[in-house]
A and B are shown apart, each in its own frame.
Chain A
Amino acid sequence: MSKILIAEDEVLMLKALEFKLKKEGYEVEVASDGRQAMEKVKSNTYDLVLTDIMMPFVGGMEILSYIKNDAIKKHTPVLLISAVGLEHVVLEGFSLGADDFIYKPFNLNELSVRIKRYIKQNVFH
């Protein structure tokens, strides 16, 4: 069973994403702020990380940067969730190694398909 970490500070969104991905058959861990997410990322290995960019304490970009600079974890696909599609934020995300950007509002089923695709690709690493 593939293991996914969801980092999102909006509790309601976190719950919906958690329910959706659990229903899809993934093992899901959640973090409601950046610090929690960073601790989990440091002590566990995930098949995919879905993180909001704007979070208290530690932002999504820092989590992304940590994962992509870690020799073992760097192949973990990281999907960033953002409410604003500002060009410099997108460019920064991709330059740090983000695999995809999800803009709010988004389609939950589409997200699920994307996650499936990234996890499938990651199996080869």
Chain B
Amino acid sequence: MSIFNTLFNYIGQIYTDRLPYFPTNIRVSLLIILFCVITAIELYLYMMVRRAVRSVRSKRMKYWDDYISVLLANMIVFDETDHPHEVVAHFYPKLKKIPLRSKVVNSILVEKILTYHKNFTGKTAEVLSLMYRKLSLDKKAKRKIKNRNWETKIEGIREANEMDLMEMAHLIVEYTDDENALLRMEAQAAYIKLSQSDPFHFLDRAQERILDWHQVVLFEIITKHKKLTIPSFSKWLYSSNDTVVMLCLKLVDHFMQFDAAQEVIKLLKHQNPKIVRKAVEIIGKLELEDAESFMFEIYFNHSEEIKLEILNALGKIASGNYSEFLSSRIYSADVKIKKEALYAIKIDPDHGEEKLRTIYLQTGQENQALIKHVLDDRIR
């Protein structure tokens, strides 16, 4: 003890009695050392307090997590003869005891309700929806959607989407054309599901891009949502937003919307080659004979990719109007074009193969090899 006392007294003396007598550089150094020591002690104390708080909080969260899990599992396992309202009335007082003012506890409860709602149908889902509203969690979701922070907004939109909060559609539509791509995508996906009057209204106002992979997501939602009334997507084929046009073309294609034929044909003159290519692909699938002359018109102005698509479409239409044109493609310098033209001729079930055999007799060795290849049904 005496050693420590001596040491403390010595240090004390340095900083009290002797400090004014040291040269300036020593004084500055001593003060820096003192500052560092105090800071280090404060930091250690801060870390210890934080760890203690975190440990208490995590224990508390673990308690509430278990409590909520058991309570919700019990609520879900209700007797099938019970009415959902009775189940909710029975469990509401217990759930009301949960400190929902705490953001963390609130998010634990919401997360678990969403998980169950996502995985169960029937009365279970109904009970969860009723309880969700009874606990006023829908109002909290609304506040989240209105929050300034975009991540919180997304959280709120996801919640509204999963819990079918139809009344939130008018709030969500605002974000369907937001600058923030993630928020925009989440809002679009939710709006389709939640809007009862006009789920595709967001396409009218879409100025921002609908990213390729989000087009896939939207396509999945639209094509798999059983309760959705599918409109004629031709309405949006004139959109100034190319990504809207592209998405709608994919949907026209999927739902085989013949009423969009004229609009699709007009897209052959579109500036975006991706749109032109998709339009040609749809023309081929829908076998739109009216489009043949337009495709022929644009054929020579486009890239190889579009040329191949046009040849394929002409083959599928198989009207015979452009069979000479298809035959003449065999003299193209591009082998891919030759091959595609030959396959296009072959598609015609009545005269295709016969026509290829005639060409075979009139052409050179290289083309003959290609025709043999095309006529072989084992290859494509």
Contacts and interface: CB of A to CB of B under 8 A. Distances in A.
Interface string A60-99: 0000000000000000000000000000000000000000
A108 B123 CA distance: 9
Contacts of A109: 80, 122-123
Given A19-B73, A19-B76, A12 B122 contact: no
User: Considering residues B69, B70, B74, B120, which has the most beta carbons from chain A within 10 angstroms of its beta carbon?
Assistant: B120
B77 A16 contact: yes
Interface residues of A, number: 17
B120 A106 contact: yes
Contact of B77 (A23, A104, A105, A110): A23
Chain B binding surface SS class? helix
B124 A108 contact: yes
B336 interface: no
A16 B73 contact: yes
Given A16-B76, A19-B76, A106 B70 contact: no
Contact of A106 (B69, B77, B80, B119): B119
B120 A107 contact: yes
B82 to A, nearest CB: 11
Interface string A1-35: 00000000011110110111001000000000000
Given A12-B115, A12-B116, A20 B123 contact: no
A108 B70 contact: no
A86 to B, nearest CB: 13
B77 A20 contact: yes
A28 to B, nearest CB: 12
A16 B116 CA distance: 9
Contacts of A106: 119-121
Contact of A12 (B69, B77, B80, B121): B69
Interface string B117-150: 0111111110000000000000000000000000
Interface string B200-244: 000000000000000000000000000000000000000000000
A106 B69 CA distance: 19
A12 B109 CA distance: 12
B112 interface: yes
Interface in B222-270: none
Contacts of B72: 12, 16
Given A12-B112, A12-B116, A110 B122 contact: yes
A104 B124 contact: no
Interface in B44-77: 69-70, 72-74, 76-77
Nearest to B70: A15
A16 B123 CA distance: 14
Nearest to B117: A105
A110 B123 CA distance: 11
Given A12-B112, A15-B69, A105-B125, A20 B119 contact: no
Contacts of A11: 69
Contacts of A16: 72-73, 76-77, 116, 120
Contact of A107 (B69, B116, B118, B124): B124
Contacts of A10: 115, 119
Contact of A108 (B112, B115, B122): B122
A107 B121 CA distance: 5
Contacts of A15: 69-70, 73
Given A16-B76, A107-B121, 12 more contacts: A12-B69, A12-B112, A15-B70, A15-B73, A16-B72, A16-B120, A19-B77, A104-B119, A107-B120, A107-B122, A107-B123, A109-B80
15 contacts: A15-B70, A16-B73, A16-B76, A16-B77, A20-B76, A20-B77, A104-B119, A105-B119, A105-B121, A107-B121, A107-B123, A108-B124, A109-B80, A109-B122, A109-B123
Interface of A: 10-13, 15-16, 18-20, 23, 104-110
